[in-house]
Structure 1
């Protein structure tokens, strides 16, 4: 096996040398492809193939990477891949000329070429371009993965995403679809008169979520700063300032582990709307998911991991206490205090910490018994106040908040509140969070005096929501891991 591996490495090194020798020969002959600064492309492969009747007999100019090649004496075929997909080119010596044809025969898989020619169909019915002119635009000095096995190793795919995009068309399709999803989110919110804004990434206080931040230091100010973990607190300041509907789509950073659902940096949408509540946010997010799916996929019925998800039906609504009762058989309406809640946790073998209150125990039951059942779109409402430091209390029951999370395919897709606008209550919540930090909880929120000052000026009744863009893209592209929808996911260094 060792000899076979060495032989393979030797073969690869020889192929790399041949590629560089070909480049050197081109340069010596005054035909350096890296000196070609531009090439006029008239059409992409998808346009030509999808609208063949319009293009048949017309001259087009295409450019792309050679993915396969068959040389047959005086005529050859090659397969060109561009942003639209693949298309066949027919290259005949008598059409392009003897010298250009001789040069074409030396081109390698992976080289980028430009072809001008007439659109036609071969006798087998394949849409093709009959070349009249051909030019080498870029000489590839590396070797693409073997055609039939492709690039399968996931670690290599994520580290060398550029190769993954070249050889795996379905990967390229996922990221094109991601772009379309974000575009349609913007279109939807813009149509609802939301204003897109940008807020700081480097912040003195990383609040708005339960997460551990990344820390850095600004030399000129001689101050410690953090990468934001949320967009919330700055967007709420803008609501105070009179911008009644705002949203931001941006990167946030959380110093946490890696998993199929988590990456330390990810894309978050947060939006805030004055004069509405969490019921208004439920209506908005339900319509948003339905609209984006229809615009991007052409349907509101999607398949994820072989399960059909129907976004057209009204999303189910359950309070967290109702959901725990339904799936765990425990009714927390009959659990009066923290001691009784902890006794139930012990009885059900649920681990908890001394600092946990009754509301924390409810959430632990929810995570243990409920989440795995939430496959179809479901709003989980009315979270305990202990786990919702920025949400308004329910007037009818101040132990709970006007908050919901949207779950689809067992995953949290959105988190929303009737936003807390009482500065005195908010100060008390921050103080409770500070106590948790002092007890060792690195994910607890910190006191934010400027945010409290903003609330003291007066924030109108407001609904707010956060949506993980990456998980939304996973849902609409049937991707099982978050790394499959991140162009360059966080990876451990090979050094």
Structure 2
């Protein structure tokens, strides 16, 4: 920041005060937002709008001003003969780019056909002490972009559009589930166990209770407790925390939408998720056709359904059904020169090893929306086993543009089988698999009171936005991503 510029702007605050003008007034009444005003017919009068000044083009007796906010911008015209000498001169003496202004006036179109408001009166609404960057280097200096997201929102149209789409997407998702008679609920972030997903938790400490706690990695087991308690359709926008590596597709703090329906199976949920994605696309982007990796994809067309085994067989030549022991499966990948990059590969269970194989060799090729089904049971500790083949689960993932955006199951509701699976996971955890689940006696107790058939789903808001906007990194899809402390 230029100290000289800040001093000049600070002096202008004193000048404002000396003329009886508040540098930071209480309020201003508008009757249109900026994007609405830009659509008004010429001749519309008494239009009242407000915004941040982003540009000033000064001519001798008239000035063009552009003001903006997150949803739109508007050109203003300040004419000396219409506003009077005093207010015209006052504007140029006291007001800078970055300041806020409220105006009232009449709409017209310029010779270049740009909708413009002719100012009849204006009110000063707030002084910026720092000058806005003339050239915003956020695109090249990524750290500044994330650390000073407010500047990025002001200066970068892509950032503005994407993060505005996020808010619209959240609203559409909430509307969709409420229209389908799902009830929105909230479950605890602080938990004694880290169940509900295969992930490493953040740990914290509760002083009054003198106990170690985890930040939740998923809301799953609490939402299922609600089904035990009598809810039939629930969903939650849940902040989740996973203490995992940084990558373009992963955040350590993210927003998960998770929900459950009693008496459904995963095929019912498959239909629901397709309807939801189409609804979200229509509500957020006003189309079901978007561009991904240079391909134009119409989501309203039929989505492919492929099994986990068939996909891996097609892309690697390995039939995972022939290798029930992880040791032999690992040897087969080595034989085929497939390098599974993992720091501690010897400690992985079969499920996590297969998952890594799929993520390396198969997932990047899936660009069009694809339902991946029939996951191995050791990859899904909370999913229901298939009636015909108990080695597989009744589960699907929706994969688009090389990323998993929705995970869904027919849920495991048998408490005895659930205990066996959690014991197996606990054994893997004790042998060094940090992402394996731990025992959750409280949840098992709830299950023992009886559960109906259930199907559930979960997806991350940021991941969904990343895929639908073809973004390079998931950090671009959250307002304030975590950055290193300076």
Determine if the TM-score, normalized by the shorter chain, exceeds 0.5. Answer: yes
Aligned position for 1:3 = none
Aligned position for 2:394 = 402
Aligned position for 1:76 = 63
User: Given the two structures, how large is their TM-score scaled by the length of structure 2?
Assistant: 0.94
Structure-1 separation of matches of 2:351 and 2:249: 25
Structure-1 separation of matches of 2:454 and 2:307: 21
Q: 1:269 aligns with which of 241, 252, 257?
A: 257
Aligned position for 1:127 = 115
Q: Secondary structure of 2:90's match?
A: helix
Q: 2:21 aligns with which of 31, 52, 73?
A: 31
Counterparts of 1:465-480 in structure 2 under 5 Å? 465-480=457-472
Structure-2 separation of matches of 1:326 and 1:374: 12
Q: 2:206 aligns with which of 202, 218, 221?
A: 218
Asked if 2 retains the 8 angstrom alpha-carbon contact of 1:207 and 1:446, the reply is yes
Aligned position for 2:84 = 97
Asked if 2 retains the 8 angstrom alpha-carbon contact of 1:120 and 1:129, the reply is yes
Structure-1 separation of matches of 2:142 and 2:411: 41
Q: Secondary structure of 1:250's match?
A: strand
Taking a change above 3 Å as real, the CA distance of residues 357 and 209 of structure 1, as seen in their structure-2 partners, is closer
Taking a change above 3 Å as real, the CA distance of residues 186 and 429 of structure 1, as seen in their structure-2 partners, is same
Q: CA RMSD in A?
A: 1.8
Taking a change above 3 Å as real, the CA distance of residues 241 and 150 of structure 1, as seen in their structure-2 partners, is same
Q: Secondary structure of 1:271's match?
A: strand
Asked if 1 retains the 8 angstrom alpha-carbon contact of 2:70 and 2:154, the reply is no
User: Given the two structures, how large is their TM-score scaled by the length of structure 1?
Assistant: 0.93
Aligned position for 1:6 = none
Shift of 1:245: 0.7
Q: 1:368 aligns with which of 360, 363, 380?
A: 360
Q: Secondary structure of 1:397's match?
A: coil
Taking a change above 3 Å as real, the CA distance of residues 245 and 38 of structure 1, as seen in their structure-2 partners, is same
Aligned position for 2:239 = 251
Structure-1 separation of matches of 2:44 and 2:352: 70
Shift of 1:405: 1.4
Moved more, 411-420 or 291-300: 291-300
Structure-2 separation of matches of 1:250 and 1:301: 29
Unaligned runs of 5+ residues in structure 1 are 1-8
Aligned position for 1:4 = none
Q: Does 1:22 align with 2:12?
A: yes
Structure-2 separation of matches of 1:67 and 1:339: 62
Structure-1 separation of matches of 2:457 and 2:36: 39
Shift of 1:73: 2.6
Unaligned runs of 5+ residues in structure 2 are none
Counterparts of 1:418-457 in structure 2 under 5 Å? 418-457=410-449
Shift of 1:57: 4.1
Q: Secondary structure of 2:479's match?
A: coil
Taking a change above 3 Å as real, the CA distance of residues 359 and 69 of structure 1, as seen in their structure-2 partners, is closer
Asked if 2 retains the 8 angstrom alpha-carbon contact of 1:96 and 1:134, the reply is no
For residues 152-175 of structure 1, what are the alpha-carbon distances to aligned partners after superposition, in whole Å with 9 as ceiling and x for unaligned?
Answer: 332111111111111223322222
Q: Does 1:307 align with 2:295?
A: yes
Asked if 2 retains the 8 angstrom alpha-carbon contact of 1:74 and 1:92, the reply is yes
Taking a change above 3 Å as real, the CA distance of residues 364 and 474 of structure 1, as seen in their structure-2 partners, is closer
Structure-2 separation of matches of 1:165 and 1:338: 48
Aligned position for 1:285 = 273
Moved more, 164-173 or 460-469: 164-173
Q: 1:321 aligns with which of 294, 306, 309?
A: 309
Structure-2 separation of matches of 1:445 and 1:85: 47
Q: Secondary structure of 2:471's match?
A: coil
Structure-2 separation of matches of 1:258 and 1:333: 32
Asked if 2 retains the 8 angstrom alpha-carbon contact of 1:246 and 1:271, the reply is yes
Q: Does 1:388 align with 2:380?
A: yes
Q: Secondary structure of 2:38's match?
A: helix
Asked if 1 retains the 8 angstrom alpha-carbon contact of 2:233 and 2:259, the reply is yes
Structure-2 separation of matches of 1:345 and 1:244: 44
Moved more, 482-491 or 394-403: 394-403
Structure-1 separation of matches of 2:328 and 2:143: 47
Taking a change above 3 Å as real, the CA distance of residues 408 and 433 of structure 1, as seen in their structure-2 partners, is same
Taking a change above 3 Å as real, the CA distance of residues 356 and 91 of structure 1, as seen in their structure-2 partners, is closer
Asked if 2 retains the 8 angstrom alpha-carbon contact of 1:270 and 1:465, the reply is yes
Shift of 1:335: 3.8
Taking a change above 3 Å as real, the CA distance of residues 206 and 412 of structure 1, as seen in their structure-2 partners, is same
Q: Does 1:66 align with 2:53?
A: yes
Structure-1 separation of matches of 2:381 and 2:389: 16
